[in-house]
Amino acid sequence: MMARETKVDLAREVERLREALAREKAKTARLKGQLAGSLEQQTVTAEILRIISSSPIDIQPVLDAVTASAGRLCEAQDSTIFRLAGDRLLLVAHHGPIAVDPVGEFTLPLARGTIAGRSVLEARTIHVADVQAEIDEFPEGSRYAQRFGHRTLLSVPLLKSGAAIGVIQLRRTEVLPFTDRQVALLQTFADQAVITIENVRLFTELQAKNADLTEALEQQTATSEILRVI
């Protein structure tokens, strides 16, 4: 009897150890995945910074790199960036196979009926599992989803001093919500896009002021030369 109980206890202990080992293996695999993702994100960030430094007044290569990297790292089929243009949102970058009208031409209304519009107006992240099914909540957005064929959509505003100047979005053609980690990652890409837009604006303003200063100095020099001759 004692021998049988001992065998049962040993079997239970072995099973407990196996389960503990399986949990540790799963934890190790998860940590390796997180580390790999973190390293890839750092590599992408370094590449984006390199593009910014190599073309400080050309914003398009940077926005293209941001959309491509966001889609890949967040495991989305498609990514887009829209910028605020009056009462519309203008598509300025697109990466992926899901249909959309041409970059630089396609616009969305700045309205709460679209997910991008509401994300900008309310300056908050909006995550919809199935846009096509949300015809009451997002009537225009649902129609766009049916037209282009996407289902799950994640929209993160581009925030500057608390106000939205645009939005970055991820799309999937199947109903497959993004994870919390992917949402946080897209928010990081949104920050990078804002930094890029602001850097280009400041650099352009600096160039314009330098040109004005150069012109003023040339005029002053010419005036001084004329007065000297007189």
pLDDT tens digits for 87-121? Answer: 999 999 999 999 889 999 999 999 999 999 999 99
Count CA atoms within 13 Å of residue 216 on its CB side: 6
DSSP E strands in the chain: the ranges are 78-85, 88-95, 107-109, 126-128, 152-160, 163-172
Whether 230 maps to a domain, the answer reads: no
Is residue 128 within 8 A of residue 115, CB to CB? The reply is: yes
Q: How far apart are CA 196 and CA 85, in angstroms?
A: 17
Query: Among candidates 150, 158, 154, which has minimal Cα distance to 179?
Result: 154
Q: How far apart are CA 108 and CA 129, in angstroms?
A: 20
The pLDDT of residue 182: 92
Whether 26 maps to a domain, the answer reads: no
The pLDDT of residue 138: 97
Whether 215 maps to a domain, the answer reads: no
156: containing domain: 38-210
Whether 3 maps to a domain, the answer reads: no
| Total number of domains constituting the chain | 1
Six-digit token pair at 32? 């390796």
* Torsion angle (degrees, nearest 10) of CA 7, 8, 9, 14: 90
Q: How far apart are CA 164 and CA 157, in angstroms?
A: 6
Whether 65 maps to a domain, the answer reads: yes
Mean pLDDT, consecutive 10-residue stretches, the chain (230 aa), reads 57 66 57 52 65 69 89 94 96 94 94 97 97 96 96 96 95 96 90 82 68 65 65
Whether 44 maps to a domain, the answer reads: yes
Q: How far apart are CA 106 and CA 138, in angstroms?
A: 19
Is residue 48 within 8 A of residue 192, CB to CB? The reply is: yes
Whether 224 maps to a domain, the answer reads: no
Q: How far apart are CA 179 and CA 11, in angstroms?
A: 38
The pLDDT of residue 127: 98
pTM of the complete model beyond 0.75:
no
Which letter does DSSP use for residue 105 in this model?
Answer: T
Q: How many residues does the chain have?
A: 230
Give me the sheet containing 78-85, strands edge to edge: 107-109, 88-95, 78-85, 163-172, 152-160, 126-128
What average pLDDT does the structure give for the chain?
A: 82
The pLDDT of residue 38: 58
The pLDDT of residue 74: 92
Whether 31 maps to a domain, the answer reads: no
The pLDDT of residue 2: 47
Can you give the CATH number for the domain in which 147 is found? 3.30.450.40
